[in-house]
Amino acid sequence: MMAAMGNGLVEAALEAFEAWREVPRLERRRLIEAWLEQLGLVREELAQLLTQETGKPITLARGEVGRAEATLRATVEAVGGFGEEAVPYDLMAGAEGCRAVLRRFPVGPVLAITPFNFPVNLAVHKLAPALAAGCSAIWKPCPQAPRTSALLGESFQAASRQVGAPRNLLQLAAPDPAAAEALAKDPRIAAVSFTGSERVGRHLEQVLAGKRLLLELGGNGAVVVDEGVDAAAVARHLAPAAVAGAGQSCSKAQRIYVHRNLWNTFAPAFVAAVQALPVGDPMDPATVVGPLIDEATARRMDEGLDRAVAAGAEILLRGPRQGALLPPAILTGLPEEDPLQCEEAFSPITVLTPVSSFEEGLDRAAATRFGLRASAYSRDQRHLRLAESKLRAGGVLLNLPPTFRLDAAPFGGVRASGNGFEGPRWAMEGFTEGRLIVEGPAL
């Protein structure tokens, strides 16, 4: 599947949309089922390419491809219950003899823009619901994984041929930001779905004012750990959430606030749990922490650690950088205004902070402009209910790490972390518009 550029992409997408929008849901479901089948045929090849191009450890890469298959299965299930909802007009005074349904109609061609950290599953999370909803799609993948993206696109094209779907229903755009922005601005593109940095997301908001824009941006995931929990067990929960895949996840555990009464037990347990995770060659199935996406990023984060130490932070764990490989680092005593606290680290760097009470931890966890994922661990049900109300995030995880995600469930952020939800059932809402259809008695 060759990447293409220019207005021809939009023209082809519009033509495909006009043919696809009237296709019954049965046929749309068959297409997603066929894609699931084709993806299964290239499962291992896709995982190998993903690791070779991005450095994601092979076990995690295989897990991502498996998650993409789960996303397709969830899309298949969502199609059957999506598109039409009965409205009980017969229970409303003045509507005698009327019938009503709320129907959802596809908005038109969709532009999907996806990042390098989950180049397979995040693409499927956008493309499958858009296609299942009756839209055509143009996909602008990340530039860091061209062969991975091409193979994923080819698996879809094989599925499309298998069921006889319209040509150009899904097209792969060149991974060029300027070209993608030009596509997004085209008035014939009905919706843009973007996952990436807050900076780019805010730029898109400015240049696409008035257009349907679905954003999944960054985060600086906070975790609050109450006294009374099993410190070692919580540490084992949180260690991979903080550093797996070099911490290149928007929902990683970045800021961990620990009740002071648990600090002397939890801090060493967390350091030990992180140290137990294998670091190194991403092609080794045992590896959990591989390299960052490139050496420049690793160097920048290593310099951030130097700056934090100069600002008075205490290092609990750190190792020497080797090219793009930055070993996990754990800090404490870091000011809240330090970038490693208030911005998205997107690296295997974690900040531990002791707090005097669970409530203080919640307050400090919520003191951020981000709102993607947050977690709280406690054995006190009153504290967990308090966490539900105080942690302003699109996902609040109780006694679970912030990275915990089921691909059939809603996933999204608030405030600087974006808007709307992904997850096939909810993503389909973003690619459709509701229309209330009311029919009165014949006259």
Active-site residue set: 216, 250
Number of Cβ within 10 Å of residue 100's Cβ equals 17
Pairing mode of beta strands 349-355, 329-332: parallel
DSSP state of 143: T
408: region left, alpha or beta (phi > 0 left; psi from -120 to 50 alpha): alpha
- Residue 350: what residue type? T
For the chain, the maximum distance between any two Cα atoms, rounded to a whole number of angstroms, is: 82
End-to-end CA distance of the chain: 55
Q: Which residues contact 5 (CB under 8 A, 6 or more apart)?
A: 173, 174, 176, 179
The answer to whether residues 2 and 122 touch, using CB atoms and an 8 Å cutoff, is: no
Residues in the chain: 443
> Which residues, 6+ apart, have CB-to-CB distance to 367 below 8 Å?
336
* DSSP3 helix / strand / coil % (the chain, rounded to 5): 45, 20, 35
CA angle 81, 86, 92 (to 5 degrees): 160
Alpha-carbon gap, residue 254 to 245, rounded angstroms: 14
